[in-house]
A and B are shown apart, each in its own frame.
Chain A
Amino acid sequence: MKRRGFLAAAGAAFVAGCNKVADSDAGARLLSAAEKWHMGAHRLLANREALAPEYPRSAISPFFRGNGSVDPQNGDYPRHVEEGFANWQLTIGGLVRNPLALTLDNIRRLPQRSQVTRHDCVEGWSAIGEWTGPQLSLLLDEAQLRPEAQFIVFRCADNLNGQDYYESVDLIDAYHPQTIVAHRLNGEPLPVRNGAPLRMRIERQLGYKHAKYLTAIEAVASLDDIGEGQGGYWEDRAGYQWYAGI
């Protein structure tokens, strides 16, 4: 009993020490630097166009789990669901020369890419599905990015716990061939739980980067003034890593 008391006390002291390190300026800097070392290593080892694995259709999971927002009730979203998303609009703006406003029809008429990929949630689970939509690079080329643009921000219709969901990637992931604006899952229009009518696919990163219920794509020079400045809903709210390739 005494020994267990000692172990528990030693464990608690160790955890307290870790928390003290994490709360210090130097500790916090070290923890966020480690994220960048991983990103640097991944980028160094893989070609910027290197593909995430694609699977045969036979590998598709029987059901594609939804997570986070699965049925948004805020704002106009329920009305859009009722209308079958006939009036949904995706805008592409920010640091671009040619801002765009696209309907779902416009998006369906663009050249499409279909990919059977694995979705990995930060929590640990995975599901495989077939996603279809135009490459983001097509839309960005059409909108003509200004040279100052460094990041692409994805705005979403869902409001979770009082904050609008958003996400962001740098231009390497934005221009990656598998980064698509998906409007179909397994050959059907996206279900609401998976982000209807449009969602991002950022195949080399974890699920929370794949913004759902997409309303706007915005090119920016810095993420500092977007949301609370950490580059995404979960990054702002809970301190999730902006680079989600780990």
Chain B
Amino acid sequence: MKRHGASTRIWHWLNLLCVVVLFMSGLTISNAHRLLYWGDWGFDRSQAWLEVPRFPDWMTIPGYYSLAVARDWHILMAWPFALGLLFMWIAMLVNRHFKRDLTTTRREWRPKAIWRDIVEHAKLNFDHGEGKYNFIQKLAYGLVLGVFLPMMVFTGIAISPGTEPTFGWLVDLLGGRQSARSLHFIFAFAILGFFIVHVALVLLSGPIGQMRAMITGGSTHEA
């Protein structure tokens, strides 16, 4: 059996491309107004809970300040990002990847078991017995797939004035448009945090084999 299903591999690389373009164009959009607020409204420093630093041009798409071009990219890549995530969730439920590899058991949530997992992780011992992923991995992938990425879609929809007549309840649920905008920013950086840890752990656990497995599928015997 392959270590990673075809649906997982296709989605993984498509999602990487989407997230990178969305994040870098998002930094340009952030530069257009660097204040974040809670609630429905806010327009100056006195209402802001955070003043975000200006992101330098080399971090951004298109590499110079253009809100219009950044929005073009953001608006385009939102489609494969959101539809890809939906596809991944359907595939994961249908091929039982979710149930088999990502759901946790009650036993795994015991503090002692969690602590053992953390210690093993810190020792860079990735050799875990039963199951494909240990508890921390399940938790991380579960958070990314179940919370961080979907929240980007939901908060993104909530910021758009044209969707509000349809999804007004969503805007209310998120605490108002400016709260949704703040959450959009927070979850974007949560994804960046995951990305950094994820890449670091791939580098520490045999990057060539890991990359090959995510491209060709690999086999369950290696790793």
> Which residues on A are within 8 Å of B, measured CB to CB?
8, 11-12, 14-16, 18-19, 22, 30-32, 34-35, 37-39, 42, 45-47, 50-53, 55, 59, 61, 65, 118, 120-128, 203-206, 234, 238-241, 243-246
Contacts and interface: CB of A to CB of B under 8 A. Distances in A.
Given A50-B165, A53-B171, 9 more contacts: A15-B24, A18-B61, A18-B62, A38-B78, A38-B160, A123-B32, A124-B181, A241-B72, A244-B162
B164 A53 contact: yes
Contacts of A42: 160, 162-163, 166
Nearest to A203: B161
B41 A126 contact: yes
Contacts of A30: 76
B209 interface: no
Contacts of B59: 11
B88 to A, nearest CB: 20
B40 interface: yes
B162 to A, nearest CB: 2
Interface stretch (B2-10, B63-71, B91-99): B63-71
Nearest to A126: B41
A204 B165 contact: yes
B16 to A, nearest CB: 11
Contacts of B41: 59, 61, 118, 125-128
Nearest to A42: B162
Given A22-B62, A122-B32, A238-B68, A34 B164 contact: no
A65 B44 contact: yes
B203 to A, nearest CB: 10
A32 B71 CA distance: 11
23 contacts: A12-B63, A15-B60, A15-B63, A22-B69, A22-B72, A35-B72, A45-B163, A46-B166, A50-B165, A50-B166, A52-B161, A123-B32, A123-B67, A124-B33, A124-B35, A125-B35, A126-B177, A127-B43, A205-B161, A239-B66, A240-B71, A245-B160, A246-B71
Chain B interface helix/strand/loop/mixed: helix
B162 A246 contact: yes
B178 interface: yes
B67 A241 contact: no
B20 interface: yes
A45 B166 contact: yes
A236 to B, nearest CB: 11
A122 B40 CA distance: 15
Interface in B145-172: 159-166, 168, 171
A38 B66 contact: no
Contacts of B61: 15, 18
B21 interface: yes
A34 B68 CA distance: 13
Nearest to A44: B166
B218 interface: no
B42 A118 contact: no
B152 to A, nearest CB: 15
Contact of B163 (A8, A123, A124, A245): A245
Contacts of A55: 40
B189 interface: no
Given A61-B41, A126-B41, A18 B72 contact: no
A125 B33 contact: yes
B73 A65 contact: no
Contacts of B20: 14
A124 B21 contact: no
B75 interface: yes
B164 A204 contact: yes
B75 A38 contact: yes
Contacts of B24: 15
Contacts of A52: 161, 164-165
Interface string B156-198: 0001111111101001000001100100000000000000000
B29 interface: yes
Contacts of A118: 40-41, 177
B49 interface: no
A37 B163 CA distance: 13
Nearest to A246: B160
